[in-house]
Each structure stands twice: as structure tokens, then as C-alpha cells.
Amino acid sequence: MLNLHRLAVLLEVEQHGTLAAAARALSYSPSAVSQQLTQLEREVGVALTEPVGRGIQLTDAARVLIAHARGAIAQLEQAEAELAAMRGELAGRLRVAAFQTGLLSLLPGALATLEREHPQLRIDVAQREAADATSGLLAGAFDIVLGEEYPGGALRPNDRLDRVDLGDDDLFLALPRTGPWSSARRVEDLADALWALDPALTPPGRWVREVCRTKGFEPDVSFDGIDLLMQVHMVRTGQAVAALPGLLGTERMQDVRLVQFPGSPQRTLFTLARSAAAGHPAVVAFRAALADAFAAHDRPQPE
């Protein structure tokens, strides 16, 4: 009998193209991925990889195995979902990956609801950005992903994933209450300001830089990092301006002046689950609790 975990590792190598990339997605070392593939080759009795330069490529036998593995794993997950529905009471473990503001603003309320309604269900949470977490979801490292999609950065659809949109979240220009940038009304008024932004290769970092470029300047970034609480702090203390989502909430953005971006842009929040497991009662319950938390969350108003 083939080992399903090793088959999932093979699927991850096929998706990412290299052992190193697959290892990063799985939070493994490259040597651990290589060992899993070697053991799988022993089980099937044929070579699954062959050397190409400094890397490897999958053999025809590997691609045959991958085609069957996808179907087998999906069928088993669907069976697990049906059996879980027959048990009645939810139990076991649900592994969730979420981005920072989702963890700060939505997860506490959702977890409180699930603890009250399904005390035997354990939720394990990891902080990940959606693009990274999706690989782990496909490989079975996570059961559900809470992600974000910025204007102009739509994620490509994947028939192996089930997406449910949670709702839209306003994006604001965040300014200090005092100082040289406090009276700005437009993005172009901040061409000479210091900015606290997400890294350029992340969806929020890429989006706000493009907004600035359409106004004729490249933002001067003095803090480059994904920690939105640090970005808020730098704005509050007059050290920088930033682009912040409404989901951070009124309390966290006290003493910060919020102004609408041109066109009142929003990001879309969504959850992803593997299509075969989307009907699992734990996934359904988590999505419902998250939707309730999103609907109840307070949102700041721009000036």
C-alpha cells in the first residue's frame, strides 16, 4: 500500500518544480523531502526523479503516479467528510493558516464561538500569507486558509481548491495627527513623506507602491515589514505614513487620521479549503464562525 503522505510530498514537488521550493512550502528540509521521495521510489519500484543539471525533473512514471494520487487523496478526504458528518458532534483538529489582521481581528471571535459550540474541536493556527499557505493547503499541511486579495492582484483559480469570499475590507491612507504630513488629503501630497509599508513583493506592498507611482512618485520607505501594528505605531508617533486596512479596527488605530484612497479601494477576504474537504463539518463550522466574526467587527471611518 502506497503511503499517502509521501504521495502528497510528490505532488508538492510537481507543483513547485524543485526540492527546495517544495521543502519551503511544507516547512521541511530539502533532505527530508528527498528522503520521502527515495522511500516512495522503493515502494513503487521505479524511478520518480532524474537529475537535470543541478536539479531534478519528474519522470513519466512519476506523472502517472501523480495523476492517480490526486484522485485517491481527494476521494479519501471526501470519505472523511461524510463520516465526520455522520458522527454528529465535531471533534478532532482543524489546521488553519491566516494573515496578520485576520489573526488579530477575526480569529479571537471565531475561536470563542467554536469553543462554545464545539468544545471537542481543536483549532491549530499558523500565521502565513495566502500565497505561501496555499501550497501547504494543497499538500495537506493546512485544512483551511484565510487570505486576502488586493485590487489588481486576483489569485488564479484552482479546481482543487474551494474558495468562499468572506467580504470586502476598506483600505485607508493613515496619517499622523500632527506634523508635516497630518494635513494631507491626497496621495500625491505625500510624495516627500516617509512610508511604513509591506515588502514590495507582497500583495499589499505591491499595490500601494503602484498607487503611488500612478501619482508620479516612488514612496520613500523607512519601515519595510509585514507587521501592521508596527506600521500603526510609526504613524501614531509621526515617523511615517502608511496604507492600512479597516479590519485593524477602531481601537488599534486611535490617534491616527484615516483618509480614503482614490476610488475607495477595498481588499477581499476569503477562505480556501481543498475541494474534496469543503463539506467537512469542521470546515463548514469554521467558515460560519469566521463569517459571524467578520460581520460583528467594528470598522473605523475615514475623515
Give tens-digit pLDDT for 224-266. 998 999 999 999 999 999 999 999 998 898 899 999 999 999 9
**CA pair distance 113, 198, nearest whole angstrom:** 31
Whole-angstrom distance, CA of residue 138 vs CA of residue 84: 21
Rounded Cα gap, residues 263 and 257, in angstroms = 18
Grid coordinates standing for 146?
484565510
Question: DSSP of 224-267, one letter per residue?
Answer: E-S-HHHHHHHHHTTS-EEEEEGGG-TTTTTTEEEEEPTT--EE
What is residue 181's predicted lDDT score, i.e. its pLDDT? 93
Residue 145, CB half-sphere, CA atoms under 13 Å: how many? 25
- Rounded distance, CA 289 to CA 297, Å? 12
Going by C-alpha positions, the residue among 80, 74, 126, 78 that lies closest to residue 102 is 126
Separation of alpha carbons 223 and 147, rounded Å: 23
Averaged confidence pLDDT in the chain:
87
Lowest mean pLDDT among 10-14, 37-41, 128-132: 128-132
Q: Is the pLDDT of residue 191 over 90?
A: yes
As a whole number of angstroms, the distance between CA 110 and CA 121 comes to 13
Cβ atoms 267, 286 nearer than 8 A: no
Task: Give the ranges where the chain is alpha helix by DSSP (H).
Answer: 4-16, 19-26, 30-44, 60-87, 100-105, 107-117, 130-139, 203-214, 228-236, 281-296
CB 258 within 8 A of CB 300: yes
Cβ atoms of residues 23 and 29 within 8 Å: yes
| 3-class DSSP assignment, residue 300 | coil
Spell out the residues 6+ positions from residue 169 whose beta carbon is closer than 8 angstroms to its own. Answer: 148, 245, 246, 247, 266, 267, 268, 269
Residue 1 is predicted with a pLDDT of 65
User: pLDDT-derived band of residue 71, with 50, 70 and 90 as boundaries?
Assistant: confident
Q: What is the pLDDT of residues 118-172, one digit of tens each?
A: 999 999 999 887 767 887 788 777 899 999 999 987 777 788 899 999 999 999 9
Residue ranges of domains in the chain, CATH in brackets: 4-81 (1.10.10.10), 90-303 (3.40.190.290)
Burial of 120 by CB count in 10 Å (0-12 exposed, 13-18 middle, 19+ buried)? exposed
